[in-house]
Structures are given as C-alpha cells and as structure tokens.
Structure 1
Amino acid sequence: MEMRPFKPFGAVSALTLGGGGLGQIWGQTSREEAVATARMAVDCGITHFDMAPMYGRGEAERVIGEAFKGADTSRFHFTTKYRLGHVDHAITYDKLNASLTRSLATMGIERADLFFLHSQLIEDGHVLYQLDEHRDRLATPRSYFFESVIPAFEQLQKEGKIGGWGFALGQESALEAVIASDTPPSAVQCVVNPLNSAGNIAYTTETFDGRKILEACKQHHVPTLAIRAVQAGALTSAMDRELPADDADQRDFDRAGGFRQLASEWGETPARLAHRYALSIEGPSSVILGVKNREELSECVEAERTPRLTDSQCKQIEAACA
C-alpha cells in the first residue's frame, strides 16, 4: 500500500481503518468478523487505526484491543476521540484525561498518537442549525477551546499520553480560526466526497462546506485525513439501514443517483469509485474507512491499488453528484 507523508507520524498508509464499522454504526457485524477485519488491515499494509469510544459505546476500541493483544504494535499508529462539549474550565483536563485513559486501557496501548475532539467547534453563542437543545453536549465554543481545551491537550502531550491533537467538524469560521491560529491542530479530519456533504452530522450550520476546510488546511500547512468518503452509505449501492425520506443521509443517497449511474458506466461499484475519488483528491494523507467486515475492506483495498483518478475524472464525478 502507498505510504504518504503525514507530519504527525512521518508517514501513514493511504488507507486508515476507522472504528465506525467495527463499532457497528454502519450495520451489524460480529466481534469475530470485526477482529478479523482489523487483522486483515495489517496484512494489507494499513498502519493507522482511528477509533473513538462513541463507536459502539467502546466496541470499536475493544475490537482493537482483542485484535492486537500480545502483538508488537510499534509500527502502527492509533488515534481516539472524545466528545467533550462545553464543561466547566476546572474539569476540562479531567474529562479529557478520563476518557483517554479508558480508551488506552481498552485498546491495550500506552499512548494515542492523536487525540481528536469529537464535539464540533462553534463560535461563541452560535445557535446550532439542529439539536441546539443539546449544544453544551455536542458543541465546543471557540473561546473555551482556546482557553481551556488546547491547554489540556498540551498537558496530555507533556505527560506523554498523546502525540498531538485535532478536530473534525463544526462551524466553518470557528474551524478556520483555529487552523489559522498560532496554536494550530496537529491534524484535521476533513470531509472528502463528491457530494461535499457531511450528511446528518452537519448540524451546526445549514450548509457545511468540507472543501473550504480542506483548502484552509492546505493554505496553513495543517495535515489532513479524509473522512466520510462514502458519506454514511449515500455513495454506495444501497443503504445498510432504514432511514426516513427526509433524513439528510437518505437525501444524499437519493441525490447520488447520477453518481451510481456513472460508476456503472465506468465498470465500478459506487463504494469503490467513491474511495478512488477520496484517494485522488489533493491534500489528505490518508482516507479513513468505515468498513465493518473483510468484504468491504477488500473493496477499499482494491480501490487503493487502482490508479488515481485524473482531475478531469474527479470533476466528472462531482458533476454527477450535482
């Protein structure tokens, strides 16, 4: 598998095994199959594993702990996350440290190479487009992030518990402000798919522009990892769960009919073509996968082994999603 430059690790595999599928967020699997999938990822050349306690209430991290129990993991990199929200300054470090400590113990590792904020960054006082009644649980205000969260991350770094820190989604202006600041993140997880959509997790603003965040990271030389390559199943052949017609992910699936037609014309499966697209976009060092079994992983590995798409082909794919 291609190894790409990635400042936090030096280099990283072009594909990263994420925890969403292993934690059964994207359809059911078994612990046995999930463990086999993690071990297969190693055989395929994957060196990075991106987990979080929210993926199946710790299930994804338990899978990693079982998959690598007793193994030499020195050549691999592990990341985890925590949905901090907005808590009192006095307990910010304690909340982050407690979650991190549980994650490390569950995965059987001593240090997380990256620790990501799993709540979404917003401007102070911003009213969420959806779910505002849960704002303190789901979102982290920018001033609080600078004043309390970054110092807590830096303390964890000094203690040797994490190698660096980062974040993913939120209100564009808040994300851009931190990316451009004197204390930028070690890495950012950026939405990369031809729909340019984060689906139903884009609840901070009515329209979230993932490409805008990726460009900000490129401009300020902040390393990136691609997420949502198949946009929660919207860019696959069929959704793996029942959703109401007005669900954002279902609307994306309906909008992607032209993409599926193009994939068929090119002799590709939609999921494979979506991963080829994410792998071909300039900027991200690795594409984080949400696969739940070895069959899905194989399809992604095949995509990685296929030549990268041209700019013209990528634009054609984007047009099919318009």
Structure 2
Amino acid sequence: MEYTELGNSGVHVSRIAFGSWAAGGWMWGGTEQNDAVGAIRASFELGVTSIDTAPIYGQGLSEQIVGEAIKGLPRDKVQLLTKFGMRWDVAKGDFAMKTKNNDGQDIDVYKYAAPESIIKECEDSLSRLGTDYIDLYQIHWPDKTTPIHETMEAVLRLVEQGKVRAVGVSNYSVEQMQEAEKVLPLASNQVPYSMVRRDIEKDLVPYTLAHHKAILAYSPMQLGLLTGKIKPGQVFEESDLRAKHPLFASENVARVNAFLSKIRPMAESKNATLGQLVLRWTLAQPGISVVLAGARNPEQAVQNARAIDVQLSPQEVEFISQQLEQMPQPA
C-alpha cells in the first residue's frame, strides 16, 4: 500500500481508503452487515488503514458497522474519517432532500452545521465508532444557514479537546475553503472525481496543490459505472440512487463501455480488472491524494486494495487520458 499525509496535519492515510457509504445500505438498496464488516477487515489486512464514513450513511448504521469492524484492531493503526452536518432527526438548517431510510420510511435530510449540532454529532459518532477520537472530521456539505466561521470555531473546540486530530471539508468550493481557513487549517477536501467527472481540475486542484491540501476523491468508479459491469438498460431497485441517475441512462452506459473496451487490453496485460486500472489512473492525476473505494463484501474489498499493485508508466497514463478525450460527449 502507499500512504500519504493529509496536508500538514500529521495524519497519514492509505491512498486507497475504504468508502463505507454502500456499507450503510442507504440509497444502495440495503446492506448485509456481516459482509460489510468482513470487507473492512479484508481491506485492513492489505494495508487499507483508512475508513471513510458518515452519520447519514444508513442513519448511523455505517458508523456502527465501522465500529464493529475495527474492534480488536490497533486503534493507532486505523484512521477514522467521518463527517458532520447532515441531519435526518431534526428539521433545521438547509433542506437537502426527501429520501427513504433502510426500512423504507420517508425521511427529510437537512444540511445543518450549527455549533450545538456539531457537538452532538461528534459525541454520537464517537459512540457509534467505539472510539474517543476521530482522525479526520469533515463537514459533509456546505450549510448556507450557518456562517462558516461559526461551524469551524465549533470544530476547533473539538480539536482542542482532543476529540478530532485533523479537520477537512467535503463538497466545498475554493472560496469556502478560504473562508474556513480564517479559523483553522484544513487538511483536505473530499469531492467527487472520476474519469467522467473532472470539473475540479479547473480550480480546486490548482488551489490544493498550491496550498498543500489533500483531495480525497469520492466516487472514483462513478457508482460502479467504470467497472465495465453495468449494461445498457440495466434496472436498479427504486431505493438505489442509480435508478434515476443520468449517467446510467442506456446511451451513456454504452458510450462509457465503448471507452472501457479500448483500455481493457491494458488491464488484461497487467492481470488487472478494469476497476483496478481506473483507480490507479485516478491516483496518478495531479492533486489526487486518496481515492475512496467502496465495497460490500470481502472479495470487492480485496480487488480494490490490490489496485495499488498495478503499475502504470507515464505513457500508459497518457494513453488512457487520450482515449478519454476521444470519447464522444453526451448529446
């Protein structure tokens, strides 16, 4: 495995991190808890020491699963990355979405990052995770109802109390990062990034490179689209967020699969899966410190972890990038 420091925080993480959104089941058509625990432990055995989660994933279930999975592991060898600022149990803040929980019940989710909410969320997360500190605490989404400085002052108190080692943001713009840094140093920004979603290259990547901040790329496999296993016309359960996602429209799946067919021979020549090749290419991009790779069972987790063993020369990275540039754009 390869490891890197998150900015200047002193927190070192594995460059492939375990993304536990799907493990919580929410918006992924449910979960099998034993499989998820086994997936995290299988990842750890292969050097994936960093686990990213959030309270909203399964409304606490993902954090509970992570807490169960790390029992018995040396705590100083595991990095717990979790989040705050999305509440489903109070109607306060910036309304985010209507959705259903794992039991099929309707819930309203709010982006809410007021100081008193953060303090409560942190205690709840520590309890579910079974730990007394969080390695990286990240605001999940910007909350336009709470000034950024108020949010960050509350998180700074948690740092001073020893409950948080490093502070990150998620889905923040450059301007929002700059505002947050008036209060405390940020280690990272967790944002969506994949072969087919590269908008952060315009401004966020140059900013983080210039200011020595880490980028944690989530959805590097674009919700499974880049595995090559999705077929045009594939039907997903209604509770699965891919059911109505425009990237999973038949014509787009066909377009992406045509691109993947061009790089498949390279994967095969390295005895690698397409997914492993995609993760390795993503890690080779400027500014990308960590990729979050989700897995719902140990087999998937092992495949993700072993992506680090795939070696790509600069010429091979460039070849893949050229094939991407030649992919027809959606109409």
Whether these two folds match at TM > 0.5 is yes
What is the aligned partner in structure 2 of residue 141 from structure 1? 144
TM-superposed deviation, 1:314: 4.2
What is the aligned partner in structure 1 of residue 236 from structure 2? 241
Is the alpha carbon distance of 1:217 and 1:179 closer, same or farther for their aligned partners in structure 2, counting shifts above 3 Å? Answer: farther
Identity percentage over the alignment?
24
What is the aligned partner in structure 1 of residue 318 from structure 2? 312
| Structure 2 residue matching 1:292: 3-state secondary structure | coil
TM-superposed deviation, 1:72: 2.5
State the alpha-carbon separation in 2 of the partners of residues 42 and 33 from structure 1: 14
State the alpha-carbon separation in 2 of the partners of residues 309 and 27 from structure 1: 38
Alignment check: 8 A CA contact 2:153 2:183 kept = no
| Structure 1 residue matching 2:54: 3-state secondary structure | coil
Once the two structures are superposed, residues 51-83 of structure 1 have per-residue CA deviations (whole angstroms, 9 ceiling, x without a partner) of: 111112222111112112244212211111123
TM-superposed deviation, 1:174: 3.7
Give the gaps of 5 or more residues in structure 2.
95-112
State the alpha-carbon separation in 1 of the partners of residues 325 and 164 from structure 2: 41
State the alpha-carbon separation in 1 of the partners of residues 313 and 146 from structure 2: 41
Alignment check: 8 A CA contact 1:16 1:46 kept = yes
Alignment check: 8 A CA contact 2:174 2:204 kept = no
Moved more, 311-320 or 291-300: 311-320
State the alpha-carbon separation in 1 of the partners of residues 183 and 74 from structure 2: 37
Is the alpha carbon distance of 1:286 and 1:71 closer, same or farther for their aligned partners in structure 2, counting shifts above 3 Å? Answer: same
TM-superposed deviation, 1:317: 4.4
Once the two structures are superposed, residues 234-270 of structure 1 have per-residue CA deviations (whole angstroms, 9 ceiling, x without a partner) of: 2122348357886233146454233321232322543
What is the aligned partner in structure 1 of residue 97 from structure 2? none
Once the two structures are superposed, residues 109-141 of structure 1 have per-residue CA deviations (whole angstroms, 9 ceiling, x without a partner) of: 10111111112x3xxxxxxxxxxxxxxxxxx23
Letter matched to residue 20 of structure 2: G
Moved more, 63-72 or 153-162: 63-72
TM-superposed deviation, 1:105: 0.6
Moved more, 246-255 or 228-237: 246-255
Matches within 5 A, 1:1-322: 1-6=1-6, 7-24=8-25, 25-26=27-28, 28-84=30-86, 87=93, 92-119=114-141, 121=142, 140-141=143-144, 144-146=147-149, 148-170=150-172, 172=173, 174-175=175-176, 177-178=178-179, 183-196=184-197, 209-211=199-201, 212-239=203-230, 241-242=236-237, 247-251=245-249, 253-266=253-266, 267=268, 269-310=273-314, 311-321=317-327, 322=329
| Structure 2 residue matching 1:163: 3-state secondary structure | strand
Once the two structures are superposed, residues 195-247 of structure 1 have per-residue CA deviations (whole angstroms, 9 ceiling, x without a partner) of: 125xxxxxxxxxxx222322221122112222211112221223483578862
Report how many aligned residue pairs link the two structures.
289
Provide the aligned C-alpha RMSD in A. Answer: 2.9
State the alpha-carbon separation in 2 of the partners of residues 23 and 245 from structure 1: 18
What is the aligned partner in structure 2 of residue 206 from structure 1? none
Alignment check: 8 A CA contact 1:258 1:320 kept = no
TM-superposed deviation, 1:308: 3.2
State the alpha-carbon separation in 2 of the partners of residues 173 and 188 from structure 1: 10
- TM-score, with structure 1 as normaliser: 0.79
Is the alpha carbon distance of 1:144 and 1:64 closer, same or farther for their aligned partners in structure 2, counting shifts above 3 Å? Answer: same
State the alpha-carbon separation in 2 of the partners of residues 61 and 194 from structure 1: 29
State the alpha-carbon separation in 1 of the partners of residues 158 and 254 from structure 2: 44
Letter matched to residue 14 of structure 1: R
What is the aligned partner in structure 2 of residue 204 from structure 1? none
| Structure 1 residue matching 2:227: 3-state secondary structure | coil
State the alpha-carbon separation in 2 of the partners of residues 26 and 313 from structure 1: 33
State the alpha-carbon separation in 2 of the partners of residues 214 and 276 from structure 1: 18
